[in-house]
Amino acid sequence: MSTFDPDALECLAAIVEEGGFERAAQRLSITQSAVSQRLRALEAQIGTVLIVRSRPLKPTMAGQLLLKHTKQLRLLRADLERDLKEFAPSSNGGAREEERISIAINADSIATWALRALDDLARQGLPLEIITDDQDFTQDWLREGQVLGCVTTLQHALRGCKVVPLGSMRYVAVAEARYAQERLPQGLGPHNFRDLPFIAFNRKDDMQSEFVGKAFGLKHVSLNQMFVPSSEGQVRAVKAGWGASVVPELLVRSALDEGVLKNIAPSYALPIELFWHCWNLESEVLDALTRALTQAAAGALVQG
C-alpha cells in the first residue's frame, strides 16, 4: 500500500477546512503555488481528483477518505502527546494547527451543557475545534471525515463508528411575558400560531414547526419565521419582543422562573434525543471525550 506525504495530507485538509487555496497557504505558511503543487502530487499518487473546485470547495469521495485518514493521524499524535506528558509534564508547547481535534456539536448543546463537559480537557491543553451545526446535520461532518465525533439526533451509526445515547433535551415554546399577555392571553393554540412570528435558528431549523405540529396534532404547519443563527441570540430576540420561539428548557429555565419569559404552551414539551457518534478506534483522546460528554449529559439531559 502506498504511503502518503504527511505534508500533502495536511495540505488537503487545510484546503477543505479553510475553504480555499489562499487561506490554506496562509495557514501552512507556504505559497499558494506550493499548495497547488502538493495537491496535484497527491492527486497524481491517488489517480483521481480530490477536490471539487466549486464554491465552496468540497472534497470528492476519495478526498473524504484521505481527509478522514489525516484526522486519524492527528488523533494518534494527540494520544502520543498525552502519553508523553506523563514523562515530561512541563513540556506544553502550543498546539500546531494540524493537531486540532475537531468535533461537531449542535448549537443548543453548546449553549447549555456541552462546553461545561469539555472544561477539564480544554484546561489540560487538548487542542479542540468545535464546529456547530443543526443537530440533524452534525453527522454530515463525521460522514465527510471532517470531524472525529459529533452530537446529533441521528441514532444510526455510520460505518466504522460507534454510538452512545446521551439523553433527551426538552424544548418549550416561550415569549416575552408582556408580549405573551397581549398577543396570546389564552396561550398558544392550533388556531392562533399563525398570528405571531417565530424565531428560528436558520433555514435548516424545523424545530418550531415540529413543536407546533406535535403539540396540536397538525400534519402540515406553515409558520411566519425570522432567523437568528445563535441559541442565545434566539432567546435575546424573544426577550426583546420579536416573537415566540421553541428553545431548550435548560436555556430559559431561569428566565421562566423570574417571569421574564412565559411558557406559552405549558401542557407540552418536545423531547429531542441526542447521541454521541465517534470513530470506533482505540484512543485515549476519544475515550476521554466520550466520558466527558456522557457524564455531563447524564446530569443535564432527561434520561430514560
Question: pLDDT grade, residue 85 (50/70/90)?
Answer: low
Cell of residue 85, nine digits = 506528558
Question: pLDDT grade, residue 17 (50/70/90)?
Answer: confident
The mean per-residue pLDDT over the stretch 40-54 comes to 88
Q: Look over the chain and give the mean of its residue pLDDT values, rounded to a whole number.
A: 90
Question: Does domain 1-88 bear CATH number 1.10.10.10?
Answer: yes
Helix (H, G, I), strand (E, B) or coil at 55: coil
Q: Is 260 left (phi over 0), alpha (psi -120 to 50) or beta?
A: alpha
Which of 10, 288, 294, 295 lies closest to 122 in space, CA to CA?
288
Question: pLDDT grade, residue 58 (50/70/90)?
Answer: confident
Distances (CA, A) of 131 to 31, 100, 211, 257: 27, 12, 26, 32
The mean per-residue pLDDT over the stretch 260-289 comes to 94
Asked if residue 266 has a cis previous peptide bond (ω within 30° of 0), the answer is: no
Q: What share of the chain is helix, strand, coil (3-state, %, to 5)?
A: 45, 20, 35
Angle between helices 6-18 and 21-28 (to 10 degrees): 130
Cβ 274 vs Cβ 297: under 8 Å: yes
What are the E-state strand segments in the chain?
51-52, 58-59, 101-106, 128-133, 149-152, 161-176, 198-200, 225-227, 245-248, 261-263, 270-279
* Gap between the Cα atoms of 292 and 105, Å rounded: 14
CATH number, domain 169-272: 3.40.190.10
| Structural domain boundaries in the chain | 1-88, 169-272
Structure-model confidence comparison of residues 134 and 99, the more confident one: 134
Cβ 261 vs Cβ 239: under 8 Å: yes
Q: What is the pTM of this model?
A: 0.76
CA dihedral 204, 298, 145, 105 (to 10 degrees): 40
